[in-house]
Amino acid sequence: MDSDTRRIPADADDHAETLFQGRWLTLCKRGRWEYVERNNPAGAVIIIAVTPADCVLFVEQYRVPIRQFTIEMPAGLIGDIAGEENEGAMLAAQRELEEETGWRCARVEYLHAGPSSSGMSTEQITFVRALDLTRVGSGGGDDTENIVVHEIPRSEAGAWLFERAAAGYSVDPKLFAGLWFLEHAPTA
């Protein structure tokens, strides 16, 4: 797009003001725009994982901000463990996959990165594909989580997600992007 046809808001370069800072999030204001920053600048990772039986791994958990059970792909914050603040997306993906699902992967490949909600947050999410999975535990998350793992045949995954939504679950729309990546992203 030509720079002369784009319209950048007049207050886009105003000084950012911190309205509130919590442990994980900071509420900021720049000009008339309010937004949230993650206090871990590395963002989050979403893991697209398929078992040897060709089942896609999904996780179910209650999310307090929306007060609803959700269906998601395994995911987590990068560098959120004390002493591991410099952890990269690939290492975080391996850690979160095993912690949440009980599956370990031999390797991880980068697929795509971008904003999780560009009008509300500075958070960047990285999609990765976990490869060569081996079951090593039951999953369920750490002691602060109560995660249910679902292994859904890849050919039925889209329909299953719509069924969960019809049953009252919140289904993260990014899951459909993850399914698209399974079919269209090149493998290394």
Is the per-residue pLDDT at 2 higher than 70? no
Q: Average per-residue pLDDT in the chain?
A: 91
Which residues make beta-bridge pairs with 130? 49, 108
Distant-in-sequence, close-in-space partners of 96: CB < 8 Å, separation ≥ 6: 45, 47, 74, 75, 76
21-69 pLDDT tens trace: 998 899 999 999 999 998 877 889 999 999 999 999 999 999 999 999 9
Task: Give CA–CA dist 18/15, Å, rounded.
Answer: 10
Q: What is the pTM of this model?
A: 0.89
Least confident of 80-84, 85-89, 121-125, 168-172: 80-84
Quick one: tokens of 125? 């999410």
What distance lies between CA 31 and its chain's CA centroid? 29
Structural domains in the chain, CATH included, are 7-38 (no CATH), 44-184 (3.90.79.10)
Question: Which residue, among 184, 185, 182, 162, has the nearest Cα to 51 in the 3D structure?
Answer: 182
Rounded CA-CA distance 101/61 in Å is 12
Cα separation, 72 vs 141, in Å, equals 13
Q: Give start and end residues of each alpha helix (H) in the chain.
A: 89-101, 157-166, 174-184
Q: Quick one: average pLDDT of 68-82?
A: 90
